């Protein structure tokens, strides 16, 4: 019943709107006649409408809290899906490029992987040597990704940036992704999800 808050929200807004419209319909004719004094029945009606609006406010606050939780879960699921896609495409690139990683040129070691070339190699087309010269007549591979994904837990443009390093993800990471040259594994760059 994770979507129950959405249903409550919709029903709450509908009920709240109906109460306000009904209250206005009762109150408005008295104001038009220049009579601002309310009868005891109208006063009681407004008290009931006020209580209904207070209940509606409580329901909406509860729904907001649950929707925020669902949103965080959706972002984490998106991150895990992006990681799975990125890791599989990196491995496919490696198979098609003679055991080299994206951003690793011919004759270079994995420690020489360049972050900009890493992204360009996954989002562009390259031959088996990792070059992008379209006139060489060789078979081209890729693109492996339409665009490089953004880590939803890193704000701004840094969420799509890749940092290259050796060893575990540093705890102070502020970029979207971290490629470990020791293991050849891409990790989420934010501290909370770096162990995924």
- Per-residue pLDDT tens digits for 32-41: 555 556 677 8
HEC-encoded secondary structure of 16-31: HHHHHHHHHHHHHHHH
Quick count: other Cβ atoms within 10 Å of Cβ 101? Answer: 25
Q: What pLDDT, on the 0 to 100 scale, is given for residue 40?
A: 79
Residues 50 and 86 in one domain: no
Query: Which pair of structure tokens corresponds to residue 193?
Result: 């999800």
Question: pLDDT over 90 for what percent of the chain?
Answer: 42
HEC-encoded secondary structure of 132-155: CCCCCCCCEECCCCCCCCCCCCCC
Residues 167 and 108 in one domain: yes
Residues 161 and 88 in one domain: yes
* Beta-bridge mates of residue 126: 141
Q: Does the pLDDT value for residue 2 go beyond 60?
A: no
Query: Which pair of structure tokens corresponds to residue 21?
Result: 């419209």
Residue matched to tokens 């109906």: 18
Residues 33 and 93 in one domain: no
- From 12, 39, 71, the end of a domain falls on 71
Residues 106 and 61 in one domain: no
Q: Does the pLDDT value for residue 19 go beyond 60?
A: no
Query: CA-to-CA distance for 65 and 9, rounded, in angstroms?
Result: 12
Render pLDDT for 44-78 as a digit per residue (tens, 0 to 9). Answer: 777 777 777 777 777 777 777 776 677 888 899 99
State mean pLDDT over 5-25: 55
CA distance to 71, 86, 100, per residue, from 118 (Å): 30, 11, 11
Residues 95 and 167 in one domain: yes
Render pLDDT for 109-153 as a digit per residue (tens, 0 to 9). Answer: 999 999 999 999 999 998 888 887 666 667 789 999 999 999 999
Average pLDDT, the chain: 81
- From 71, 102, 125, the end of a domain falls on 71
Residues 54 and 93 in one domain: no
Query: CA-to-CA distance for 101 and 85, rounded, in angstroms?
Result: 15
Residues 54 and 117 in one domain: no
Query: Which pair of structure tokens corresponds to residue 160?
Result: 């799509």
* Beta-bridge mates of residue 127: 140
- Contact 107/126 with Cβ under 8 angstroms? no
Residue matched to tokens 């591979």: 141
Residues 67 and 83 in one domain: no
Residues 86 and 179 in one domain: yes
- Contact 94/87 with Cβ under 8 angstroms? no
Residues 43 and 10 in one domain: yes
The range of the structural domain enclosing residue 14 comes to: 4-71
- Contact 151/79 with Cβ under 8 angstroms? yes
Number of structural domains found in the chain:
2
Residues 45 and 97 in one domain: no
- From 17, 44, 71, the end of a domain falls on 71
- Contact 85/146 with Cβ under 8 angstroms? no
Query: CA-to-CA distance for 29 and 188, rounded, in angstroms?
Result: 62
């Amino acid at each position: 019943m994770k979507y129950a808050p959405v249903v409550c929200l919709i029903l709450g807004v509908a009920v709240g709107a109906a109460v306000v419209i009904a209250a206005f319909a009762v109150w408005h004719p008295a104001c038009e006649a220049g009579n601002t004094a309310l009868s005891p029945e109208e006063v009681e009606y407004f008290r009931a409408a006020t209580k209904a609006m207070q209940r509606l406010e409580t329901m909406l606050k509860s729904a907001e809290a649950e929707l925020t939780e669902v949103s965080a879960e959706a972002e984490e699921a998106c991150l895990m899906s992006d990681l799975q896609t990125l890791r599989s495409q990196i491995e496919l690139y490696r198979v098609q490029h003679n055991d080299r990683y994206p951003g690793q040129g011919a004759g270079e070691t994995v420690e020489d992987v360049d972050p900009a070339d890493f992204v360009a190699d996954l989002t562009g087309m390259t031959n088996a040597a990792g070059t992008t010269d379209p006139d060489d007549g060789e078979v081209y591979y890729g693109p492996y990704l339409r665009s490089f994904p953004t880590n939803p837990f890193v704000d701004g443009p840094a969420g799509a940036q890749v940092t290259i390093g050796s060893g575990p993800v540093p705890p102070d990471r502020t970029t979207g992704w971290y490629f470990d040259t020791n293991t050849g594994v891409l990790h989420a760059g934010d501290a909370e999800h770096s162990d995924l």
